[in-house]
Structure 1
Amino acid sequence: MVLEGVSPRAALPVGLLALVPLAWYALGSSPVAGIVSAINVLLVLSCLYVAFSPVDDPHDHPPGGTSS
């Protein structure tokens, strides 16, 4: 399977699997550390989702951002 062909929506559940070892970590340490770690994982996943989502064609807009 070619990784370039995987859409962000298909890769998101794989990234959410990172919450499984995080839950194990949270059970072994303080709950605050688990919550902070979960927030960090979700922030990274959301940034990757935005970064790898498709963008509009830049040729659809006129140069300079003005319409004529």
Structure 2
Amino acid sequence: MTSDTLSPRAAAMVGALAFVPVAWYGIASSGTAAAVSAVNVLIILASMAMLTGEAEGSEGHGTASA
């Protein structure tokens, strides 16, 4: 599979697999570092979801205005 055939939303979902090593790290260390890591992954996934989300309505780009 190439990056041309992978949709941005599917790529964001694949990013959710980052929780696997975070969970493993959390089980091994059981400290606040695991919680911080999980929050970081959530921030990254939320950013990717916003980036690949629906675009807002057109603001009239490409038209001449005085």
Using the size of structure 2 for normalisation, the TM-score is 0.65
Q: Which has the higher helix share?
A: 1
Aligned residues, how many? 61
Unaligned runs of 5+ in 2: 62-66
In structure 1, the partner of 2:7 is: 7
Give identity over the alignment, percent.
Answer: 41
1:55 offset after TM fit, Å? 1.7
Instruction: Let me know the Cα RMSD of the aligned residues.
Output: 2.3
- The unaligned stretches of length 5 or more in structure 1 are 64-68
Runs of 4+, deviation exceeding 6 Å? none
Quote the residue 2:18 is aligned against: 18
Relative to the length of structure 1, the TM-score reads: 0.64
